[in-house]
């Protein structure tokens, strides 16, 4: 499985202290987007201090206007409130979905916890309908756990 092959690469990126945190986060985005066929946009959002909003961090994929997302708005904003993974097999079925691109068919968002607190998330958009499995969720949880160690 591709996820098992990518785990050591994620760990290597995380451990490379010669790069800044943002450089390492971007490298993770690039790794996932390049090697997982159904990952078409990969990025991180992080809580903006004490504000109830998320700020876009490092990402790869089409540019987005959604650089600030209020808590509760869209899939990312809902994860900021729920502290739960959110898998959307078909974005057209979500009333609270924020469209980044007309090509996006599905989305998965997994929170990043530091000391038990949700401080951000990884957001993946796919141009493939219903591509995400439980294996994607477990892998992205692994990625978020590793990312948390450098935040």
Domains of the chain, residue spans: 2-148
pTM here? 0.96
In CATH, which superfamily holds the domain spanning 2-148?
GAF domain (3.30.450.40)
Tens-place pLDDT, residues 67-123: 999 999 999 999 999 999 999 999 988 877 776 678 999 999 999 999 999 999 999
**Which pLDDT value is given to residue 23?**
98
The Cα 31–Cα 66 span in angstroms is 22
Q: What is the pairing mode between strands 117-126 and 53-60? A: unpaired
**Which pLDDT value is given to residue 1?**
66
User: Is 4 within 8 Å of 140 (Cβ atoms)?
Assistant: no
**Which pLDDT value is given to residue 102?**
82
- Output DSSP code: residue 52: S
């Amino acid at each position: 499985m591709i996820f098992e092959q990518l785990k050591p690469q994620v760990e290597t990126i995380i451990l490379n202290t010669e790069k800044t945190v943002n450089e390492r986060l971007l490298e993770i985005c690039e790794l996932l987007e390049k090697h997982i066929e159904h990952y078409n946009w990969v990025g991180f959002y992080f809580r903006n201090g004490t504000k109830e909003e998320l700020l876009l961090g490092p990402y790869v994929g089409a540019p987005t206007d959604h650089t600030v997302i209020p808590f509760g708005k869209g899939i990312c904003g809902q994860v900021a409130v729920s502290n739960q993974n959110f898998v959307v097999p078909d974005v057209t079925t979500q009333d609270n979905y924020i469209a980044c691109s007309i090509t996006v068919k599905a989305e998965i968002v997994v929170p990043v916890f530091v000391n038990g607190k949700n401080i951000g998330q990884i957001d993946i958009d796919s141009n493939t309908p219903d591509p995400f499995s439980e294996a994607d969720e477990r892998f992205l949880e692994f990625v978020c756990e590793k990312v948390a160690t450098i935040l």
